[in-house]
Amino acid sequence: MNFEKVVFGFFVVLAATLNFGFFIGPIDDPRVHNAFELYSAVVINLIALVMKFGDRTQIGAVHLATSLVASLQLVAAGGLWAFYNNISEGAAMTPEQISSVVSLSGGALFANVISVTLLVVETVSFRRQ
Amino acid sequence: MSSPSPVRRVSAEGPSTTAIFLVLRKMRAPLIVLISLFAISILGLTIVPGQTIEGQVWRMDPFEAFYFMSYTATTIGFGEIPYPFSAAQRAWVIVTIYLSVVAWAYAIGSVLALLQDRGFREALGLQRFERQVRRMREPFLILCGFGQAGEVVARALDATDHRLVVVDREGTRIEALDLAAFRSDVPGLCGDASDPHELRRAGLDSPHCAGVIALTNDDHANLAITMATALLRPELPVVCRTLQDDLIDRIKAFGDPLIVDPFNLFGDELVVALRAPVTNRLTSWLTSDQGSPLPVQLDIPRHGRWVVAGYGRFGGHLAADLVRNGIPVTVIDSKGGTGQGLEVITGDPTSPQALDAADLDNAVAFAAATDHDITNLSLIVSATSRNPGLFTVARHNDPTNGPLFDALHIDSVLMPTRLIAHEVLARIGDPMMWLFVQNAQRRDDAWGQPLLDRLVAVCGERRPEIWTVELTDHGAPSLMDHIEAADVTVAQLLKDPQDRQRDLEAVVLMIRRGQSVVMAPDDTQVLQVGDRLLVAGRGYDRRNLDTTLCVPAAAEYVITGAQVGASWIWRTLADR
């Protein structure tokens, strides 16, 4: 067992699951989309992104690309959430506002699904020499 | 499908991007630590309760916490925003401050360590080298081996406007490139040139690559370079240095590389000097550096016995060349040896007994041919003390011993590196000059003496500037009509465009016409379109000749004596 692979797989899957957890539920209902889940999704995605640095293989390059997309979308979602909550006036978030945040995270989820698929493909095609 | 490219390619990686990958790889751990510690700090800030001014319980949201962490971790420190912190918050902030200090120190420390890292710097240097080679947009030569000979070659090629790429195994020599102050930018690669990948890095695949010069100290590496070039770019000229006879046949199997073997060259030159001392003096003067004085004539004794001390590669060649020219030779070597027509004395050449046995009193020339400079010097001293009238030849390996050899006034010194450098320059740097030397060395003194006298009379006793003139639309646009219309002789061409009564201080050494060559043409020689002239002369008259070649009015005046205007209006008026 390669411990590096365990950590790598852990972060890639955790990034996807957290993202999924935030995304799931009616898109315009602020009650079912937890801010802390979004926050942890951003953090874990950033870590997953950094873990993919420096791999020169083709599959490593695609891994890095998907993670870049996911992180970008999630950071955008988090920024939007902070904007609606702190900068624009109004106490609670409107359904329109929360749905734009959630849809951004939905895009990130798609990239994360690709990332996990790559991980699975890599694992399945791995043969012990 | 694309048409087959003339450049054959071997599969290899694309341009190296090692440096950026190294940075990414080494920055993984510090970045993850940084992100994690930030995440923990922000999470804590959002959980720990605070108070508004009205005394209500208030918690930061992640955005405010990130804002607070950003200005705290970067030591900006705006204070407790938006409300003064509670004791619990302050306790957690203490923790976050120390966490962030650790994270930043680790990240910055890693970056600094990376910048110092040898592997990283090499990767950066390699990337810079590849970029430089890729951006070369004019013909360049790949010089493998930047030793003594390599440096002389590089300097002279640079001075004659050739672009170079240098490959050497020694990192210190590549570093010396930066200090060498070349006129053009010379990229250097530290690597083994016998590895085809390194050669390709140095631009072997580039369409601008004009040739490869293999001058490493290792003959087998030179063979490998020649082989790689012959297989990957068969059309490129290769110059290969070798000191071993058995390798020459193996090198010749790959196309037609130019082989530079200093020991053979020296022997050949000595034979020319034996047969035609004046011609040899002329060619060695013309192939020396510009401005050097006319060398003293080598008066090699033509009759009498030679003594060669040291029967190694050099001694062997020398003895064989002498015997072939009917000169009796005595060889002294501790290992002995056999050879046709040789008298061999087995013994240490430095011992008095061996020198006694060689009977130096009745010899005419002595050659110190061992591969050790100090031995050679002491041999020369002991030989001349026995017979001061000896003609002396010495092999000189290390340039730092130069003053010692100068002080002994040895008649002929073989310096392999210098000889190699001159030969490479003549062949690659100036093919016309090489052709001239090749042809001149077959001539006798009756041919060489008048040319030498004329050169000295016209240009003085300093080696003149030598250049090539092409009588083509490109090289001599204003002269083409005149050559086509009427016979133009060499003497007519070499006139001052200011005053055609004055002859230019220049001499045509050779005319190359297609495959044939006219050596030292006389004044009545008629020029033809397409001729290539090798001209020796003063620098200012080179510019005068250029004026004749390029300015139509000057050409008209020089050839016919008619004064025509240089401007279009004046010429149109004059034509009426």
> Mind listing the pLDDT tens digit for each residue in B308-329?
888 887 888 888 888 888 888 8
pLDDT value at position A129? 44
Banded model confidence at residue B565, pLDDT cuts 50, 70, 90: low
pLDDT value at position B1? 36
Mean per-residue pLDDT, B188-198: 88
pLDDT value at position A91? 63
Q: Are A58 and A104 in contact (CB under 8 A)?
A: no
As beta bridge partners, residue B119 has: none
Separation between Cα atoms, residue B166 and residue B189, nearest integer Å: 6
Banded model confidence at residue A107, pLDDT cuts 50, 70, 90: very high
**CA dihedral over B452, B454, B455, B457, signed as positive or negative:** positive
pLDDT value at position B167? 92
Banded model confidence at residue B12, pLDDT cuts 50, 70, 90: very low
What are the DSSP calls for B112-154, one per residue?
A: HHHHH-HHHHHHHHHHHHHHHHHT--S-EEEEE--SHHHHHHH
Q: Are A23 and A105 in contact (CB under 8 A)?
A: yes
Run of H or E including B258: strand B258-260
pLDDT at residue B248 tops 70: yes
pLDDT at residue B486 tops 60: yes
What is chain B's length? 576
B268: exposed, middle or buried (Cβ count in 10 Å: 0-12, 13-18, 19+): middle
Residues belonging to chain B with any Cβ–Cβ distance to chain A shorter than 8 Å: 21-22, 24-28, 31-32, 35-36, 38-39, 42-43, 46, 61-64, 66
* Cβ neighbours for A6, distance < 8 A, ≥ 6 positions apart: none
pLDDT value at position B37? 92
Separation between Cα atoms, residue B318 and residue B391, nearest integer Å: 14
Q: Do B63 and A82 touch (CB under 8 A)?
A: yes
Q: Which two tokens stand for residue B14?
A: 């694309």
Of A47, A54, A82, the CB nearest to B32: A47
Separation between Cα atoms, residue B138 and residue B165, nearest integer Å: 12
A67: three-class secondary structure by DSSP: helix
How does B442-453 read in b/e, with b if 16+ C-beta sit within 10 Å?
Answer: ebebebbeebbe
**Test mutation, A46, A75, A83, chain B, max B CBs within 10 A:** A46
pLDDT of A1-32, one tens digit each? Answer: 678 788 889 999 999 999 999 999 999 888 89
Q: What is the pTM of this model?
A: 0.65
Higher pLDDT, B5 or B238: B238
Q: Do A39 and B43 touch (CB under 8 A)?
A: yes
Nearest to A101 by CA among A10, A9, A37, A51: A37
Task: Read off the DSSP letter of residue B429.
Answer: I
A85 touches chain B (CB under 8 A): yes
Chain B neighbours among A 13-72 (CB < 8 Å)?
35-36, 39-40, 43, 46-47, 50-51, 53-54, 56
pLDDT of B390-422, one tens digit each? Answer: 888 888 877 788 888 888 888 877 777 777 877
B62: three-class secondary structure by DSSP: helix
Q: Are B251 and B219 in contact (CB under 8 A)?
A: no
Mean pLDDT for chain B overall: 83
Per DSSP bridges, beta strands B50-51 and B57-58 are antiparallel
Of A36, A40, A51, the CB nearest to B32: A51
Chain B residues within 8 A of A78 when measuring between CB atoms: 62
Nearest to B574 by CA among B559, B557, B558, B268: B557
Of B21, B35, B64, the CB nearest to A43: B35
pLDDT at residue B336 tops 80: no
Cα B215 to Cα B164, B189, B223, B346, distances in angstroms: 14, 15, 10, 34
User: Nearest C-alpha of chain A: how many angstroms from B134?
Assistant: 22
Separation between Cα atoms, residue B172 and residue B193, nearest integer Å: 16
Mean per-residue pLDDT, B173-188: 84
pLDDT value at position A1? 66
Mean per-residue pLDDT, B150-172: 85
Separation between Cα atoms, residue B526 and residue B491, nearest integer Å: 9
A80 touches chain B (CB under 8 A): no
Q: Do A53 and B64 touch (CB under 8 A)?
A: no
For residue B463, count other CB atoms closer than 10 A to its CB: 20
User: Nearest C-alpha of chain B: how many angstroms from A83?
Assistant: 9
User: Nearest C-alpha of chain A: how many angstroms from B30?
Assistant: 10
Q: Do A53 and B31 touch (CB under 8 A)?
A: yes
Q: Where are the alpha helices (DSSP H) in B160-298?
A: 171-179, 196-201, 219-232, 245-252, 262-275, 277-286
Q: Are B100 and B77 in contact (CB under 8 A)?
A: no
Which stretch, A105-114, B79-88, B162-171, B190-199, has highest mean pLDDT? A105-114
Q: Which two tokens stand for residue B394?
A: 């010495």
Separation between Cα atoms, residue B169 and residue B144, nearest integer Å: 9
Nearest to B168 by CA among B122, B141, B202: B202
Provide Rg for chain B, Cα atoms. Answer: 36
Q: Do B25 and A36 touch (CB under 8 A)?
A: no
Mean per-residue pLDDT, A53-68: 87
State the Cα angle at B512 between B511 and B514, rounded to 5°.
145
pLDDT value at position B498? 84
What are the DSSP calls for B468-523, one per residue?
A: EEE-STTT-TTTHHHHHHS--BHHHHSB-SS-TTSBPSEEEEEEEETTEEEES--T
Cα B234 to Cα B257, B366, B424, distances in angstroms: 10, 44, 19
Q: Which two tokens stand for residue B551?
A: 């300015």
Nearest to B52 by CA among B28, B22, B85: B85
Q: Which two tokens stand for residue B365?
A: 């020339």
Structural domains of chain B ordered from first start: 1-135 (1.10.287), 136-260 (3.40.50.720), 301-408 (3.40.50.720), 464-575 (3.30.70.1450)
Higher pLDDT, B206 or B361: B206
Nearest to A84 by CA among A72, A74, A96: A96
Provide Rg for chain A, Cα atoms. Answer: 16
